[in-house]
Structure 1
Amino acid sequence: MVGGGTVEHALLRKLAGHAAGLVGADAGADRIVETGLVPDAVIGDMDSVRDLSALPRATRVITVTDQETTDFEKALLMTAAPLTLALGMTGGRFDHTLAALHAVTKAAATRRIILVDEHDLAVGVSGSIRLGVGRGARVSIYPLGRTAFAGSEGLFYPLDGLEMEQGQKIGTSNSAVADEIRIEVAPGTQSPWLLILDRGKLPVFL
């Protein structure tokens, strides 16, 4: 899924090879075409895509006109996938980045979404996770609400008993001291959170 922000052409072409579908969120369709690829669909309110008539005939155009959701949210609502890689949703305008985090927060309980930019990847996590990231990897944990953690394994700074909330406590710039890390949230209802890794760790999810 591609937004209208900055998109590395080489990265998009590489990731498109792993994808079952290629969706532009409004102006994201332009980013896809600029890369030399054909979007399977463009979804949004169509207020920023450059020229719908110039899109390949094979591209489905799905117009959603409500103004209560962003184009990224619209694209998520109109699609289903076990894993969504989202490019061009962060960077550039800061409000667009915040809107992307909002969309991930809303969808994290039912969708596995990975935001990808030129440096990092950020995975929306609802609940606990176990992942092989490699010893020495930078591991950042960022709350998207209020999240209590029951414990962790493989991290330099353990999360045992910590409660994180923006403006109170966050967990950026931790690191892995084992090849595999485990992060477990406390029992009860917990908000989603972001697991942020170097972009080079993306193959772990593919």
Structure 2
Amino acid sequence: MQETSVAAADGPILAFDTPLAIVGGGAVDQALLVELDQRGVALVGADGGGDTIGAAGLVPKAIIGDLDSLVDRMAWERRTQVIHLPEQITTDFQKALYSTKAPVTLALGMTGKRLDHTLAALSAVLQYAPKRRLLLVDEVDVALAVVGPIVFGADQRERVSIHPLQPIRFERSHGLFYPMDGLTLEPGGLIGTSNEGVGGRVEILPSDRTPWLLILRRERLWDLIEASQSAAWA
């Protein structure tokens, strides 16, 4: 394979029909990477995230970024597509987002290790959530960026956290221990950490299409992928 050098993106370079996992250099469970690969999820490294995928014994479909963190760039060029985006206006996660297209996109290794990287990842999620279905995955949780209403199932007393990325008002909810009816959540104000399911169907209806995060334990990853695919946004 050869390197592709791009100064700026005019549109997606790579399009996937399957779910996509963009892998960064933060904390990543290698067993989860293997599971994703076995389930047919396309793996793409965001710069040094390519080495993270390699450490799990896997080969990414591509490596995208400014390539300042990739350990052995020439070796990877012989194994997969390496897309060099030298611009310094965006993060490697953003570069991977604007260079790809997929029905659902997971982001691993974008949180943990460095707080500034975590905050940058949240900023990217806010930017891209209206355009594509995004899930942030770490060692404990999975956070789905939601635009509009969503319906899913939750066990009794299961933790269901709702986090506002911007001020957002919720019209109503069903199936939560603490109802969301008429509440406005906002960073620096009221937030929805550690709500709980009452058992069964959960419905959350915001008043507009402001992006927000639905956070469940990581074991619910495939459930949230399914819920995101059945939702009406993007």
Q: Which residue of 2 aligns with 1:26?
A: 47
Quick one: which of 200, 212, 216 aligns to 1:197?
A: 216
1:134, CA displacement in angstroms? 2.8
1:163, CA displacement in angstroms? 0.7
1:18, CA displacement in angstroms? 2.4
Q: Which residue of 2 aligns with 1:81?
A: 102
The answer to whether the 8 A contact 1:145-1:165 is kept is yes
1:8, CA displacement in angstroms? 1.3
Quick one: which of 88, 91, 115 aligns to 2:136?
A: 115
1:56, CA displacement in angstroms? 6.0
After superposition, what is the alpha-carbon deviation per residue over 1:4-34, rounded to whole angstroms, capped at 9, x for unaligned?
1121111111122224421000000000001
1:139 aligns to 2:124 (yes or no): no
Gaps of 5+ in 1: none
Sequence identity (%) = 53
The answer to whether the 8 A contact 1:40-1:58 is kept is no
The answer to whether the 8 A contact 1:147-1:164 is kept is yes
1:49, CA displacement in angstroms? 1.1
Q: Which residue of 1 aligns with 2:61?
A: 40
Structure with the larger strand share = 2
Q: Give, in whole Å, the separation in 2 of the partners of 1:7 and 1:94.
A: 15
Q: Which residue of 1 aligns with 2:84?
A: 63
1:145, CA displacement in angstroms? 0.8
Moved more, 131-140 or 150-159: 131-140
Look up the SS of the partner of 2:204 in the other structure: strand
After superposition, what is the alpha-carbon deviation per residue over 1:30-69, rounded to whole angstroms, capped at 9, x for unaligned?
0000100001100111111111112163411111122111
Look up the SS of the partner of 1:177 in the other structure: strand
TM-score, normalised via structure 2 length = 0.84
The 1:46–1:78 alpha-carbon spacing in structure 2 relative to 1, beyond 3 Å, is same
The answer to whether the 8 A contact 1:133-1:201 is kept is no
Q: Give, in whole Å, the separation in 2 of the partners of 1:16 and 1:163.
A: 39
Moved more, 172-181 or 131-140: 131-140
Structure 1 residues 6-25: aligned runs within 5 Å: 6-25=27-46
Moved more, 14-23 or 105-114: 14-23
The answer to whether the 8 A contact 1:41-1:59 is kept is yes
The answer to whether the 8 A contact 2:154-2:198 is kept is no
Structure 1 runs (4+) deviating above 6 angstroms are: none
RMSD: 1.3
1:90, CA displacement in angstroms? 0.5
TM-score, normalised via structure 1 length = 0.95
The 1:151–1:46 alpha-carbon spacing in structure 2 relative to 1, beyond 3 Å, is same
Match of 2:105, as an amino acid? T
Q: Give, in whole Å, the separation in 1 of the partners of 2:175 and 2:127.
A: 29
Look up the SS of the partner of 1:55 in the other structure: helix
Q: Give, in whole Å, the separation in 1 of the partners of 2:41 and 2:108.
A: 15
1:178, CA displacement in angstroms? 2.4
